[in-house]
């Protein structure tokens, strides 16, 4: 299985109905960072990138347009990829940073409770499972507090 037990446990704690296989690799704890200033998200991503030279890093957000502030990070290094949640399907990265998680909840409603939000819920699940070793959630809210 490509992801770690820590990532799958985190996803399950968010309310997704998943089974965690018995033989699965250990990894780092999923990290949530709350930032009120968008520039702080960029600084955090830069730190993760600098600490993990050479590893494939995906910075994922709800919309491609939300990733503009990270563009210079991907231009500086060829191991950093910027992609929307929907377009991240079937891709895998050593490390994933899901940025602006608060934007996933714009336009109201709890994404796990409303039928018309299934696509949003599925795209979030896809983004969460793109990380093979390390997952970071950043934004102005805690995903775990919002959903868990």
Tens of pLDDT, residues 2-36: 889 999 999 999 999 999 998 899 999 999 999 99
Ranges assigned E (strand) in 65-148: 80-84, 93-98, 131-139
Give the rounded percent of residues in the chain with a pLDDT score beyond 70.
Answer: 92
Each residue of 46-77: pLDDT tens digit? Answer: 999 999 999 999 999 998 999 999 999 999 89
In angstroms, the CA 119 to CA 66 distance is 18
pTM for the structure as a whole: 0.91
| pLDDT for residue 103 | 87
Task: Give the three-state DSSP class for 15.
Answer: coil
* DSSP code, position 94: E
Contact assessment for residue 146 and residue 17, using Cβ atoms and an 8 Å cutoff: no
Contact assessment for residue 82 and residue 59, using Cβ atoms and an 8 Å cutoff: yes
Instruction: Give the helix/strand (H/E) hosting 16.
Output: none
pLDDT at 95 over 90: yes
Contact assessment for residue 96 and residue 136, using Cβ atoms and an 8 Å cutoff: yes
């Amino acid at each position: 299985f490509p992801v770690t037990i820590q990532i799958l446990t985190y996803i399950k704690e968010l309310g997704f109905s998943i089974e965690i296989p018995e033989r699965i690799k250990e990894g780092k704890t999923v990290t949530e960072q709350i930032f009120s200033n968008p520039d702080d998200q960029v600084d955090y991503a830069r730190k993760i990138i600098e600490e993990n030279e050479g590893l494939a890093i995906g910075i994922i957000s709800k919309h491609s347009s939300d990733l503009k502030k990270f563009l210079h990070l991907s231009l500086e290094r060829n191991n950093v990829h910027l992609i929307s949640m929907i377009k991240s399907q079937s891709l895998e990265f050593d490390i994933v940073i899901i940025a602006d998680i608060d934007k996933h909840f714009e336009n109201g409603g709890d994404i796990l409770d409303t039928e018309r939000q299934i696509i949003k819920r599925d795209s979030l699940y896809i983004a969460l499972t793109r990380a093979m070793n390390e997952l970071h959630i950043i934004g102005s809210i805690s995903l775990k507090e919002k959903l868990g």
